[in-house]
Amino acid sequence: MSHLQTENLTYIYGAGTPFKITALDNININIEKGDFVAIIGHTGSGKSTLVQHLNGLLKPTDGKIFLDGENIHQSKSKLFDTRYRVGLCFQYPEYQLFESTVYKDIAFGPTNMGLSVTEIDERVRKAAKYVGIPDEMLSKSPFDLSGGEKRRVAIAGVISMEPEILILDEPTSGLDPMGREQILDLIKNYRETTGNTVIIVSHSMDDVARFATKVIVMNDAKVDLTGTVDDIFENSTHLQDIGLSVPQITEVFIKLREKGYPVSEKVYTVEQGYNELKRLFEGSVNND
Ligand SMILES: Nc1ncnc2c1ncn2[C@@H]1O[C@H](COP(=O)(O)OP(=O)(O)O)[C@@H](O)[C@H]1O
Ligand SMILES: [Mg+2]
């Protein structure tokens, strides 16, 4: 049984109006416990709409979503439960932060879960520490923070609910390279220490190649491909056809191969590239 599954999931914005847009068209995906899933696809392909269904925020126009085999819309209490078990961090942190202080924003989820004041306080401090928000920042207004800090507060607000499935919609967009590395390390660490499932919507193929155990490619409201990093990036021409790219390091190795160097094209991370070059050079030394 899948941990999280969609069955013929369809969603139409503005259904019944002349402006209707089919944002999801018959989506079937399966996510297993502990998976690190990357959802990729061009802008407007339906990624944000899809993840907003996975925690029950949007209700399908058609089709079903199952969490551990149970339809998340089967009852009010099931839906309520799903919102805490599947934590969603929005694409734009501004949509998620609305309280007067950082503390209250991080406490929002645990408060709604009905935890005691002591438990809430513990959760807030633990989550803030986890994402690197210092104590003195807790009394600040979230609107006085930098882009990177806002993002971290938004992530802390979801982590504080200790979700079994953590979903992050483009968590590194708009950040500088160092800010991006920090957020990615944090997410990687969350998965490794908790063993929980993580789903990331990402634009960065380089990041996807480094972390994902499973990749879902969206194109025009449909799932175009699913598979491992190898399965997906092997199809470099197809990815380009649907407005995506392969990791930069893969492009380098494709070019090297075109120029006649006997290197593998299946190089998706800098580390793999390093090993491949080492193999090539050591090989040529031995042959000489
Ligand atoms: N609130 C909305 N109202 C109407 N259309 C929307 C809304 N949000 C998204 N859409 C449309 O739905 C499609 C999918 O959007 P979205 O899920 O945001 O894609 P992505 O996250 O891949 O960029 C796009 O055509 C977009 O314009
Ligand atoms: Mg989006």
Q: Which of 11, 20, 21, 40 to mutate to test the pocket of ligand 1 (most atoms within 8 A of CB)?
A: 21
Could you give the CA distance from residue 7 to residue 26 in angstroms, rounded to a whole number?
8
Q: Which residue has the higher pLDDT, 36 or 97?
A: 36
pLDDT, tens digit (0-9, with 9 covering 90-100), for 104-122: 999 999 999 999 999 999 9
Class of domain 4-233: alpha beta
Q: Which residue has the higher pLDDT, 138 or 280?
A: 138
Of the listed ligands, the closest to the CA of 42 is 1
Reported pTM:
0.93
Q: Is 32 exposed, middle or buried, given 0-12, 13-18 or 19+ CB atoms closer than 10 A?
A: middle
Start-end ranges of CATH 3.40.50.300 in the chain?
Answer: 4-233
pLDDT, tens digit (0-9, with 9 covering 90-100), for 165-196: 999 999 988 888 888 898 999 999 999 999 99
Q: Which of 10, 49, 92, 242 to mutate to test the pocket of ligand 1 (most atoms within 8 A of CB)?
A: 49
Pairing of strands 4-13, 30-31: antiparallel
> Dihedral of CA 260/263/265/270: which sign?
negative
Of the listed ligands, the closest to the CA of 19 is 1
Asked if residue 44 has its Cβ within 6 Å of ligand 1, the reply is: yes
What are the beta bridge partners of residue 199?
37, 167
Q: Which residue has the higher pLDDT, 283 or 175?
A: 175
243-255: buried (b, 16+ CB within 10 Å) or exposed (e) per residue?
A: ebbbbebbeebbe
What are the beta bridge partners of residue 178?
none
Asked if residue 219 has its Cβ within 6 Å of ligand 1, the reply is: no
CA torsion, ordered 236, 182, 213, 57, to nearest 10 deg: -100
pLDDT at 288: 47
pLDDT at 286 over 70: no
pLDDT at 14 over 70: yes
pLDDT at 285 over 80: no
Mean pLDDT of 145-174: 93
Could you give the CA distance from residue 183 to residue 132 in angstroms, rounded to a whole number?
10
pLDDT at 255 over 70: yes
Pairing of strands 70-71, 62-67: antiparallel
